[in-house]
Amino acid sequence: MTTPSTPSLPLQGGCQCGAVRYELHSWPIKPNVCHCRMCQKAAGAPFMAFAELPLADIVWTRQQPSWFRSSQAAERGFCPACGTSLHFRYVGGDWIDVALASLDRPNAVVPEQQFGCESRLAWLNGLDKLPESTTEANTPADVLATYASRQHPDE
C-alpha cells in the first residue's frame, strides 16, 4: 500500500502538546471521513478523519491517552493534558481508528470514503468557493512576531 513517496513504517503521531505520542507498525486501512454527530462533538469540528489498524500495531511511545466512553459500543482516546482527539475504538475490539490529523504526516493517509453523511453540515459543500489565505497573510506582522508555538513539533 505504500509507494516511494509515502513515509515508511512506523508512522508517528501524537497530540498537540506532545504528552501522548504513538507509532503505527502497520499501514492503516479503510481511511475515511466521518460526519456523524458524535465525531462532530468529539472534535468540535465538522468531521473527523480516521483510518484503522490492529490494536496490537499501535505502540504508545509517550503516555497513553485517556478514554471517554462516547456510547455503549465505542470509546474515544484523547490527550489528558491538552484534550487533542486521537483515537476511536469499539469496546472490546481488536482494532483502533487513528485520527489522521494527529499523524506527524497527516497527508500520508488519504480518506477513501465518508460515513455519517446524514449529519454532514450543508455549508461544507461551498468551502472550495470561499476565499483562501495563509496564516501569515491573514495575521498582522506585529502579532505574528509574538507567536511562540507551544505545539509539539511533527516528528
pLDDT at position 154: 80
| Residue 15 grid cell | 497530540
Cell 483562501 belongs to 132
pLDDT at position 2: 47
Whole-angstrom Cα distance, residue 24 to residue 26? 6
Averaged confidence pLDDT in the chain: 92
The tens digit of pLDDT for each residue in 126-141 reads: 999 999 999 888 888 8
The tens digit of pLDDT for each residue in 20-63 reads: 999 999 999 999 999 999 999 999 999 999 999 999 999 999 99
The tens digit of pLDDT for each residue in 107-121 reads: 999 999 999 999 999
Query: Is the per-residue pLDDT at 77 higher than 90?
Result: yes
SS3 content of the chain, % helix, strand, coil (to 5): 25, 30, 45
- What the chain holds in terms of domains, given with CATH numbers, is 11-144 (2.170.150.70)
Q: Specify the DSSP class assigned to residue 82.
A: T
Q: Within 13 A of 48's CA, how many CA atoms are on the CB side?
A: 22
pLDDT tier, 5 (very low <50, low <70, confident <90, very high otherwise): low
pLDDT at position 149: 77
Backbone dihedral angles phi then psi of residue 41, each to the nearest 5 degrees: -70, -40
The three-state (H, E, C) secondary structure of 29-56, written as one string = EEEEEECCHHHHHHHCCCCEEEEEEEHH
Q: What is the rounded average pLDDT of the residues 91-107?
A: 97
